[in-house]
Structure 1
Amino acid sequence: MTQQTTPAAPERINGMRKIWWKDAVAYQIYPRSFLDSDGDGVGDLAGILAKLDYLADLGVDLIWLSPHYDSPDADNGYDIRDYRKVARAFGTMADFDALLAGLKARGMRLIVDLVVNHSSDEHAWFAQARQGRDSETRDYYIWRDPAPQGGPPNNWPNFFSGPAWTFDAESGQYYLHLFAQKQPDLNWDNPDLRAEVYDIMRFWLDKGVDGFRMDVIPFISKDPALPDLPAGVKPQRHYAEGPKLHDYLQEMRREVLSQYDCTTVGEGNGLDQAQMRRVVDERRGELDMIFQFDVVEFDRDAQGQPRDWTLPEFKDIFARQAASMDGHGWTTVYLANHDCTRPVSRYGDDHPDWRVASAKVLNALLLTQKGTPFLYQGDEFGMTNFPFTRVAQFEDIAVRNAWARALADGTADEAAFVARLNRTSRDHTRTPMQWDDGPQGGFTSATPWLAVNPNHHTVNAQAALADPDSIWHATKALIALRKRQPALVYGDYTDLAPAHRAIFAYSRALGDRGVAVVLNFSRAAQVFDLPRALTDPKVLHSSGATLTGGRVQLAGWSALVCAWGAT
């Protein structure tokens, strides 16, 4: 008789389940802008493969690859025409397989984008749906008759300017698109559509990918009544957490995700922290991690315009994010992605005299917070915002559509428009990677799809690698430190100076020991005394700061990380 054994309980640290995706340090690659290997001005998969040793040396072990699928590129790949085909500009499926094998050989994992709130209007499903109201895939999308008074079925706007509805003259109905006209929303209430999505997920997981970053996943469930957007309510809040969102995420877990050693990270746009906690509560069986949006929204006013902010406001975001993890859920930490501006230009100080020091502080913050850190390409050596001067320099569909509407309604003021975009445009993080000081920053031998920042002559990976005191080397050291210190992953978070307007200081504690982090977010020198409870502090990492006893002396824009407690 064979004796059956009970599976071992998962290891827990500080009450939290220990698992690889919590221990990981992730790095986002925007393939169009990473490295062009074939001289067409567009980055590609072979270019990424050529730089895997660079990434491995940095120490990251989880790559998030932004959409690599076949797409007409109305929204730079977030409008997918074929979910099982690689975009021609990026290469072939053989290139993808080679990239995946290269990552595995170096001990790294890969997650890919899952963009299933919408497809491209050039997808075969939508082409068939447009053939008539009785077509086989008509109900894969959301169609409605015109309002009784004529016009769209409701007042919903899309995120790229204009109404969220487009009229299809052939069938006499409108279709819904929360994003661009060429991105019709999928109807998740249709079980056949959900089965198609799950099959796509299995296709990539069977290839060996390690999970998905789920684009605008809170929007997949719509209230069938499609109620009007109330005055004063942000569209994303109105669209998020529809009536069956949790049912669909739980079904996805049962049908697909539970059968693989993989991870999921959802884009939390529109969700408040209570809603996000529900999505990632491991007892509910939905998603593993979430990208919270406070860090990329707090410095915008109600109209989305940039506003001045204070360090206590910034610190409060991280305190609330840490508190949102109650032992049964997990989150991410990030300062940028492909939809943001560059962190050193947004939260730091990109003046040439302070760029290096402030970028080191920001990366120290990123890599010592609670949650899985996601580093965006180029931030490891402090790439900055691009100095745009004309609307024609932008590629982002949101910018092009907003400018077209401004021209149409007579409110166009190019100087003011560009000035605002120099603080807010997504194109700042989409400019090509600056590999060296050569033509086009070493990104391509051709004209790049988006201009390379002119500061690539001094701000580039090659120069950073050659300088032992660079941002890149500081970032590498911090990644290694995080992997050696469980407190930086699983430790309790306490803000040590929530009201201080220049110093960001916090502790990560595992019982009677832990790590303290002290960051100076100003050009002026500062002094900070560690609480006496943080006994026997010892320096683990420093950039411009010193520790004497429990007193930290900080130069302008400096960082110190120290261990404390039982040895």
Structure 2
Amino acid sequence: MTHRSPDAAPWWRSAVVYQIYPRSFQDTTGDGVGDLAGIARRLDHVVALGVDAIWISPIYPSPMKDFGYDVADYCAVDPLFGTLADFDALVAAAHARGLAVLLDFVPSHTSDEHPWFRESRSSRENARRDWYVWADPAPGGGPPNNWLSEFGGPAWSLDEATGQYWLHIYLREQPALNWRNPDVQAAMLDVMRFWFDRGVDGFRVDAVEHLVPSAALTDNPPDPAWRPGMQEARALHRAYTAHQPEVFDAARAMRRVAGEYAPERLLIGEAYGTLPEVMAYYGGEGLDGFQLPFNFQLIFAEWRAESIASMVEGYEAALPAGAWPNWVMGNHDRPRIAGRIGPAQARVAAMLLMTLRGTPTIYQGEELGMVDVPIPPEMAHDPMEKNAPGQGFGRDPVRTPIPWEDGPKAGFTTDEPWLPIGGAPPVSAQAADPGSMLALYRRLTALRRAEPALSLGSYRTLACADDVLVFERRHGERRLVVALNFADAERPLAHEGPVLLSTHAGDRVAGRLAPNEGRVMEG
């Protein structure tokens, strides 16, 4: 990959990140599951989309209880996806095309099949016992406290042989590492170095908010916002399991490792929390934490112009001095944006994502306007669905394979795909259609690349009324105006500058926005 000169803005500030869920991108072995060679085969699609970096969800050896987020070996590739040689070839191919490569880093827990946990579980005296979080039963018996697993039920499982419970914020097969143990921290930081030495340009750090839960094991208080029908884990406020002070020390330690490499490598943190909690991951005055703590607000936002404007203003105001914003519409855990707000507004959402100040992340399939694909109960894979069937928590519908071509296997595989394929017209059809969602995303990324006002410029809200949000992006003397119509009806527009890009084809009426239209105009 060609990096910018040291005196230029870091490459990731003007970049667009594209998340690849490898199981569902492209299969080359005929087993119905995507692989590393498949990613390499489809890099031309990524390049044509106009993004700058790919983030690859976990590819490590794993029993796949949580589809790779239960890691059995941090320094290898699961045979399902290929080999280390395949990974090296993918990195080389991506760099040759000017693409950065980011990996998922899963530091808070391993698989229960990881050799470290097998040793830790073997006896209380084992040298690796303290590598995981163990605790005695409560005085009256049962789990040490009331902490809940994100997947339902207690966050503790009893090891009958040793008489203690192990902590698992997620599945019982995902025991929590003890980051208070210096040996654990050193081992995990060495994992980062292993992949950095292979050419990785950064990491998306998984579930970092749970990295160092309270050592006092204090009960979490009830969450008054919880209602029946919500996830069981949300019944308690995560006061003692998330965003503890030691988490931010760990983030700074990871950043120091990233800083050992020239140029400094990128760290994106996954931390769901309040705005102040998320901002803390940037670090102190020196911004010595993650460069980009993920901003998930658009995933949960009420889709109204006024709500979006207020959210953007609040986020911009909360950023520490010098911190760089970022935006994301969806990921492998959350319902797809096109299904949440409908296909017409999904085009407005695409323009919003690509024109706000900050680094955007596209989840694979968003560029096609994919919606969640219904999964028959007998085909469900996700433990979120299996543990609470029929309650709508399953993530399989957002993880379905990319439809590349027409036909029953959609060019994804020659065998039965691991999940049903659908959710959008195929890439081949959209690439040939100038009015497609794919064509719109390509135009948006091209405009963003051509206009520093969009990639690096300042942000200012100009107006927000009657379902229309209008904002300014400015870089030097160059001023652009973005107008977004959140209504399914025509709306007046005061600004009438030359139109650089519209979500709609055909003629435009001066002073009027078409229903569900977004425009980028000269100032």
Normalising by structure 1, report the TM-score. Answer: 0.85
| Residues 544 and 284 of structure 1: CA distance in aligned 2, closer, same or farther (over 3 Å) | closer
How big is each residue's C-alpha offset from its partner over 1:444-474, in whole Å with a ceiling of 9 and x where there is no partner? 1111111112x55xx1101001112221111
Distance 1:334 1:284 in 2: 21
1:127-138 to 2 correspondences below 5 Å = 127-138=118-129
2:489 equivalent in structure 1: 524
2:404 aligned residue (432, 435, 438): 435
The amino acid across from 1:515 in the alignment is: L
| Residues 237 and 496 of structure 1: CA distance in aligned 2, closer, same or farther (over 3 Å) | farther
Question: Does the Cα contact within 8 Å between 2:15 and 2:455 map onto a contact in 1?
Answer: no
1:315-394 to 2 correspondences below 5 Å = 315-347=309-341, 349=342, 355=343, 357-388=344-375, 390-394=376-380
2:18 equivalent in structure 1: 27
1:251 aligned residue (248, 253, 261): 253
Secondary structure of the 1:373 match is strand
Distance 2:334 2:169 in 1: 19
The amino acid across from 1:433 in the alignment is: I
Question: Does the Cα contact within 8 Å between 2:304 and 2:486 map onto a contact in 1?
Answer: no
Distance 1:329 1:426 in 2: 32
1:294 equivalent in structure 2: 297
Distance 1:280 1:95 in 2: 34
Distance 2:153 2:205 in 1: 25
Question: Does the Cα contact within 8 Å between 1:156 and 1:229 map onto a contact in 2?
Answer: yes
Distance 2:268 2:192 in 1: 14
1:539 equivalent in structure 2: 499
CA drift at 1:385: 1.6
1:515 aligned residue (480, 493, 503): 480
| Residues 241 and 372 of structure 1: CA distance in aligned 2, closer, same or farther (over 3 Å) | same
1:228-307 to 2 correspondences below 5 Å = 228-232=219-223, 234=234, 237-238=238-239, 239-261=241-263, 262-270=265-273, 272-281=274-283, 283-298=286-301
1:4 equivalent in structure 2: none
Question: Does the Cα contact within 8 Å between 1:212 and 1:263 map onto a contact in 2?
Answer: yes
Secondary structure of the 1:439 match is coil
The amino acid across from 2:293 in the alignment is: I
The amino acid across from 1:114 in the alignment is: F
How big is each residue's C-alpha offset from its partner over 1:387-423, in whole Å with a ceiling of 9 and x where there is no partner? 34x43343211111113xxxxxxxxxx5xx3xxx2xx
1:99-118 to 2 correspondences below 5 Å = 99-118=90-109
Distance 1:99 1:475 in 2: 24
CA drift at 1:498: 3.4
Distance 1:212 1:160 in 2: 24
Q: Do structure 1's residue 553 and structure 2's residue 507 form an aligned pair?
A: no
Once the two structures are overlaid, the 10-residue window that deviates more, 113-122 or 289-298, is 289-298
> Which stretches in structure 2 are left out of the alignment for 5+ residues?
225-233
CA drift at 1:439: 1.4
Distance 2:397 2:307 in 1: 24
Distance 1:495 1:153 in 2: 50
2:306 aligned residue (312, 329, 334): 312
CA drift at 1:499: 4.4
1:224 equivalent in structure 2: 215
Q: Percent identity?
A: 41
How many pairs are equivalent? 505
Secondary structure of the 2:203 match is strand
The amino acid across from 2:307 in the alignment is: E
Question: Does the Cα contact within 8 Å between 2:430 and 2:437 map onto a contact in 1?
Answer: yes
2:231 equivalent in structure 1: none
Distance 1:497 1:378 in 2: 31
> Which stretches in structure 1 are left out of the alignment for 5+ residues?
1-7, 12-17, 300-308, 350-354, 404-413, 531-535
2:435 aligned residue (461, 469, 479): 469
Normalising by structure 2, report the TM-score. Answer: 0.92
Once the two structures are overlaid, the 10-residue window that deviates more, 437-446 or 205-214, is 437-446
CA drift at 1:516: 1.2
Question: Does the Cα contact within 8 Å between 2:296 and 2:328 map onto a contact in 1?
Answer: no
Question: Does the Cα contact within 8 Å between 1:340 and 1:425 map onto a contact in 2?
Answer: no
CA drift at 1:338: 0.5
1:62 equivalent in structure 2: 53
How big is each residue's C-alpha offset from its partner over 1:249-299, in whole Å with a ceiling of 9 and x where there is no partner? 2223234534342101001213x2223223214714111001123323345
CA drift at 1:219: 1.6
How big is each residue's C-alpha offset from its partner over 1:67-112, in whole Å with a ceiling of 9 and x where there is no partner? 0111100111110000111111111111111110100110111000
The amino acid across from 1:560 in the alignment is: R
Question: Does the Cα contact within 8 Å between 1:240 and 1:269 map onto a contact in 2?
Answer: no
Distance 2:258 2:351 in 1: 36
Question: Does the Cα contact within 8 Å between 1:236 and 1:269 map onto a contact in 2?
Answer: no
Question: Does the Cα contact within 8 Å between 1:81 and 1:122 map onto a contact in 2?
Answer: yes
Secondary structure of the 2:445 match is helix
